[in-house]
């Protein structure tokens, strides 16, 4: 009898392991590596948020809390959803977990049966299909490639839905492409979803605050209130307040779903860290002025990177609306040979050769379900980005 469960054979470890271990090995050997493979802001958590955590510790707020979050945080979450997204919710419609990822995990494990379908636009954030597979459900991949600005088109969504579709997962702005849906684009998807009442929508809005060029963030339950009763709107402080290590995510959604998620979480991690919850109260209720500055910095970096990647490299990089990723096509490099003689057959060959020959670590598109691309995270200092872009340009210039 096998010791490990069947579920473990259905999921893969992170596809970025090879690239990260190679980068770490090169660093240990004293080589000059620039890693643009990470998915977290390079800023520090704002001081007022750190102070709130210290205060919570000093005041002894260090015990178990309610499973789905302290009332003060659920109030702050409801106020955020009402202020920014006009969702008209109360604290009792809100739920807190140890990161946005635990919200997604709870929701899928609480609802999926073997054989259920989950529609996932491609390219996707790596955890969506893996969690669906853990539940023995089928990820149904709906193409949202560069030809549509990496956005799901209504007709493609319609064709992907089956009677067994339980969820559609949306992520805007997107990891790995940075694409962000406009109000009108979500309207088109909402019209399709109104025809399919069996489909619930999980929208991962974790990059909400990072929309550039003055664009306005939109989320589907705001665009079509009739979908609210079957939408789980997920968000968190990881990216908005540079709090990836604190592990606080939150959501609002239908009460029966939140009740099931509460049962599940009560049998796994119980509550998220009490101290991190008090920090998150300050993050959501405190001043948000710093975000304007962060957005300006990220937008400047995005522009630098897109311009550099498109400058006679053979790469083809769209200008994304949000998040801190670009997802250029490497198709023009495939079938050729790198400067040091490596055959570039796949996008993984490209990122491995790029790392070996220039020290720049990126992630290949296949890891996100779309071969022929690579993901660059521009959550790094501008000087590092300039250096990385010029190394990428050198690498491309030597490809024959």
Cβ at position 269, least distance to ligand PLP in Å: 12
Cβ at position 238, least distance to ligand PLP in Å: 4
Candidates 334, 336, 315; CA nearest to 326 is 315
Pattern 58-97, binding to ligand PLP, x per CB under 6 A? ----------------------------------------
C-beta of 170 vs 396, nearer to ligand PLP: 170
Q: Kindly indicate which of the ranges 84-92, 98-106, 276-284, 332-340 contains the residues binding ligand PLP, using the contact rule CB under 6 A.
A: 98-106
* Distance, CA of 203 to CA of 287 (rounded, Å): 26
Q: Say which residue the tokens 């109000």 belong to.
A: 183
C-beta of 99 vs 308, nearer to ligand PLP: 99
Q: Kindly indicate which of the ranges 52-60, 99-107, 147-155, 370-378 contains the residues binding ligand PLP, using the contact rule CB under 6 A.
A: 99-107
Concatenated DSSP letters of 53-110: HHHHHHTT--S---TT--HHHHHHHHHHHHHHH-----GGGEEEESSHHHHHHHHHHH
C-beta of 329 vs 377, nearer to ligand PLP: 377
Residues 6+ apart with CB under 8 A from 261: 68, 95, 97, 103, 106, 107, 110
Candidates 131, 135, 94; CA nearest to 235 is 94
CB burial of 77-114 (b: ≥16 within 10 Å; e: otherwise) equals bbebbeebbebebebebbbbbbbbbbbbbbbbbbbbee
45 counts as binding ligand PLP under rule CB under 6 A: no
> CB atoms < 10 A from the CB of 295, how many?
17
Residues 187-246 within binding reach of ligand PLP (CB under 6 A): 204, 206, 236, 238, 244
Two tokens, residue 88:
């008209």
C-beta of 240 vs 313, nearer to ligand PLP: 240
C-beta of 35 vs 338, nearer to ligand PLP: 35
Q: Which of 101, 200, 364, 375 binds ligand PLP (CB under 6 A)?
A: 101
* Distance, CA of 346 to CA of 107 (rounded, Å): 35
C-beta of 171 vs 273, nearer to ligand PLP: 171
125 counts as binding ligand PLP under rule CB under 6 A: yes
Tell me the backbone φ, ψ of residue 116, rounded to 5 degrees. -70, 150
368 counts as binding ligand PLP under rule CB under 6 A: no
Residues that bind ligand PLP (CB under 6 A): 39, 99-101, 125, 171, 175, 204, 206, 236, 238, 244, 249
């Amino acid at each position: 009898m096998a010791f490990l469960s069947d579920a473990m054979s259905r999921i893969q470890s992170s596809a970025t392991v090879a690239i990260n271990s190679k980068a770490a090995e090169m660093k240990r050997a004293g080589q000059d590596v620039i890693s643009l493979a990470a998915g977290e802001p390079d800023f520090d958590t704002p001081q007022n948020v750190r102070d709130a955590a210290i205060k919570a510790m000093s005041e002894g707020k260090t015990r178990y809390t309610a499973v789905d979050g302290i009332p003060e945080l659920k109030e702050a979450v409801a106020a955020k959803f009402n202020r920014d997204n006009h969702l008209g919710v109360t604290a009792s419609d809100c739920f807190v977990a140890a990161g946005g990822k635990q919200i997604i995990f709870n929701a899928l494990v609480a609802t999926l049966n073997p054989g259920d379908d989950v529609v996932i636009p491609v390219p996707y954030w790596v955890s969506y299909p893996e969690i669906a597979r853990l539940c023995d459900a089928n990820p149904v991949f709906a193409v949202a490639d560069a030809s549509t600005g990496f956005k799901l088109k209504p007709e493609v969504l319609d064709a992907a839905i089956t009677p067994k579709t339980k969820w559609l997962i949306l992520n805007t702005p997107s990891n790995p492409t940075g694409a962000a849906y406009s109000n009108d684009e979500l309207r088109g998807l909402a019209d399709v979803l109104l025809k399919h009442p069996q489909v619930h929508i999980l929208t991962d809005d974790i990059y909400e605050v990072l929309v550039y060029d003055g664009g306005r963030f939109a989320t589907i339950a705001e665009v079509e209130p009739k979908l609210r009763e079957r939408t789980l709107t997920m968000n968190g402080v990881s990216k908005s307040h540079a709090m990836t290590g604190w592990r606080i995510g939150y959501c609002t959604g239908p009460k029966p779903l939140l009740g099931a998620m509460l049962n599940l979480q009560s049998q796994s991690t119980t509550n998220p860290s009490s101290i991190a919850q008090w920090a998150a109260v300050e993050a959501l209720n405190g001043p948000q002025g710093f975000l304007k500055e962060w957005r300006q910095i990220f937008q400047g970096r995005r522009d630098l990177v897109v311009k550099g990647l498109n400058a006679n490299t053979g790469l083809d990089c769209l200008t994304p609306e949000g998040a801190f990723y670009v997802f250029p096509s490497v198709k023009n490099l495939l079938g050729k040979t790198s400067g040091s003689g490596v055959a570039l057959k796949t996008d993984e060959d490209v990122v491995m050769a790029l790392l070996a020959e220039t020290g720049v670590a990126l992630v290949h598109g296949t890891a996100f379900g779309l071969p022929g691309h690579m993901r660059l995270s521009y959550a790094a200092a501008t000087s590092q980005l300039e250096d990385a872009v010029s190394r990428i340009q050198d690498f491309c210039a030597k490809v024959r």
